């Protein structure tokens, strides 16, 4: 019995001495995890976009003569009678889509400056037709079609960062693209074979240079990818052409229109130097 009590006492002393030794050891706290790397906007990026464009500019129409001595008075009466439409409204609209590349300089936590270039395929087009019944002439059907086949821009971007992952920006610069329109006046009843007709046909198409301005929002979504939504106003100037009425050679039409497009689009960009982790929202 005495032997058992001694053994229990020895075991208890061993436990107490171990606790005392542990209490004297320094306490080590776990190292906090490293902070996630902040999103950096500086560097090259590239991506794709898709959107929609529209143009509400009318096609103005005037009629003139190469022989004022013979036709000047007649044309005045002809214009006043409303025998020729003064304008037509093709209401061009359609889808756009393309690619963009750019480079950003993030100057500090708040401001960013960048350059961007894009090229877009465009299906922006529209047409309009009006019937007229000119005095002393056969009935005519006047039609126009205007379109933008493609366009591109080279723009500066100035942005503000309300959060490290969110960019609000204004943008503007050079725009260029291929614009065109066609014009046609026919006699829907007898064609353009009679002498008393004002038939004419013609078109104009080429690359025009202009300007663009707009703004947008871009947000970091995951890893190196961002999503953007953007509006651009694209002004590619005007186009005008003189088209002779081939059955009345002394008379010609002059259709004129502006190409001023509203573009809305969304897209994605891959930022090559942004880092593998996006800062949490």
Domain holding 96, by residue range, is: 42-271
pTM for this predicted structure: 0.81
10 compared with 33, residue with greater pLDDT: 33
Domain membership flag for residue 24? no
Q: Is the Cβ–Cβ distance between 160 and 113 less than 8 Å? A: no
**Buried/exposed code over 227-266 (b: 16+ C-beta within 10 A; e: otherwise):** ebebebebebeebebebebbbbebbbbebebbbebbbebe
Tokens of 56: 């509400």
Nearest to 114 by CA among 162, 63, 161, 183: 161
Domain membership flag for residue 151? yes
Q: CA-CA distances (angstroms) from residue 120 to 48, 52, 105, 227?
A: 10, 11, 25, 18
Write phi, then psi, for 39 (nearest 5 degrees).
-70, 130
Q: Which residue has the tokens 């703004």?
A: 215
Domain membership flag for residue 276? no
Q: How many residues does the chain have?
A: 281
Nearest to 270 by CA among 28, 101, 52, 147: 101
Domain membership flag for residue 217? yes
Among 8-17, 71-80, 154-163, which is the least confidently predicted range?
Answer: 8-17
Please write the tens of the pLDDT for every residue from 154-206: 999 999 999 999 999 999 999 999 999 999 988 877 677 666 577 889 999 99
Domain membership flag for residue 35? no
CATH of the domain at 68: 2.40.160.20
23 pLDDT above the threshold of 80: no
Domain membership flag for residue 203? yes
Nearest to 237 by CA among 207, 213, 263: 207
Please write the tens of the pLDDT for every residue from 120-159: 999 999 999 998 887 667 778 899 999 999 999 999 999 9
Determine the pLDDT at residue 192: 76
Write phi, then psi, for 164 (nearest 5 degrees).
-55, -25
14-19 contacts at long range (C-beta below 8 A, 24 or more positions apart) = none
Number of domains comprising the chain: 1
Domain membership flag for residue 10? no
Domain membership flag for residue 33? no
């Amino acid at each position: 019995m005495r032997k058992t009590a001694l053994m229990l006492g020895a075991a208890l002393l061993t436990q107490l001495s171990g606790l005392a030794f542990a209490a004297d050891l320094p306490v080590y706290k776990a190292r906090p995890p490293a902070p996630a790397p902040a999103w950096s906007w500086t560097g090259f990026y590239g991506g794709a976009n898709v959107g929609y464009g529209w143009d509400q500019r009318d096609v103005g129409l005037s009629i003139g003569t190469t022989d004022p001595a013979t036709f000047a008075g007649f044309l005045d009466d002809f214009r006043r009678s409303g025998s020729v439409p003064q304008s037509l409204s093709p209401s061009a609209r359609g889808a756009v889509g393309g690619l963009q590349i750019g480079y950003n300089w993030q100057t500090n936590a708040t401001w960013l400056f960048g350059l961007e270039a894009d090229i877009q395929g465009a299906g922006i087009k529209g047409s309009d037709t009006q019937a007229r019944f000119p005095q002393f002439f056969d009935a005519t059907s006047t039609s126009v079609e205007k379109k933008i086949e493609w366009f591109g821009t080279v723009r500066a971007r100035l942005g503000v960062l309300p959060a490290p992952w969110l960019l609000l920006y204004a943008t503007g610069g050079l725009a260029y693209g291929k614009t065109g329109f066609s014009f046609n006046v026919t006699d829907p009843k007898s064609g353009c074979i009679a002498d008393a007709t004002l038939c004419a046909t013609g078109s104009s198409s080429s690359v025009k240079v202009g300007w663009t301005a707009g703004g947008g929002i871009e947000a970091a979504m995951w890893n190196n990818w961002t999503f953007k939504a953007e509006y651009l106003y694209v002004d590619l100037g005007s186009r005008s052409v003189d088209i002779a009425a081939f059955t009345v050679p002394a008379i010609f039409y002059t259709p004129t229109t502006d190409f001023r497009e509203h573009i809305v689009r969304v897209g994605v960009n891959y930022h090559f130097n942004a880092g593998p982790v996006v800062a949490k929202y």
